[in-house]
Amino acid sequence: MLILWRAFLIAVCCFAVIICYPNYANGALTVIFTWAVVAFFIMLILTLITKAIQLGKSHIFNSFFDIALVIGFLYILLNILPLSDGTTPFIRIKKNVYPTKQDISKGLENLGFTKKEENLGKLQKNIDEISIDIDKVKTLIFKEHKD
């Protein structure tokens, strides 16, 4: 269960970076995926080693290990993720350029979590057109039966 929790932490970190920095360069998703796989195997080996030497049975140690895992993973991920402007997120953070609301909105759009208002508006328009067509068909059917 501990390994699943730590794999979940790695996945959350990946999604957070993808959402906060959506203007990544070509091949950036490959970099993220590759680093996530490498981090998973590093985490797996370290978890097995700490369990073998009885250090991994301490809840305090596991909490600190999880925090160190997230900080280390994010540090490396933010340093190696190429952005479209030729920098990395870490360089942008050092220059006090943080993700804006528009960046987060664009990141969520890239993952398909937003723009529901536009889609719902189009869907409602289609439903209205279909209901008008159904009403026309109903009136035609009633006219035929009256004759």
pLDDT at residue 111, rounded to an integer: 79
**Structure confidence by residue, pLDDT tens digits, 12-30:** 999 999 889 988 888 888 8
User: Which candidate, 80, 84, 62, 82, places its Cα nearest to that of 1?
Assistant: 62
Predicted confidence band at 73 (pLDDT cuts at 50, 70, 90)? very high
Same-domain pairing of 97 and 132 = no
User: What pLDDT, on the 0 to 100 scale, is given for residue 9?
Assistant: 92
Please tell me whether residues 84 and 34 are part of one structural domain: yes
Q: Range of 58's domain? A: 2-114
pLDDT, tens digit, for every residue of 102-138?
888 888 888 777 665 666 677 777 788 888 877 777 7
pLDDT, averaged across the chain:
84
Binned at pLDDT 50, 70 and 90, residue 144 comes out as: low
Q: Is a pLDDT exceeding 60 seen at residue 75?
A: yes
Count the Cβ atoms, other than its own, within 10 Å of residue 141: 10
The residue ranking higher by pLDDT, 72 or 147, is 72
Q: Rounded mean pLDDT of 80-94?
A: 90
Do 123 and 80 share a structural domain?
A: no
What's phi and psi for 24, nearest 5 deg?
-85, 160
Same domain, 71 and 85: yes
Burial class (CB in 10 A: 0-12, 13-18, 19+), 87: middle
The number of domains in the chain is 2
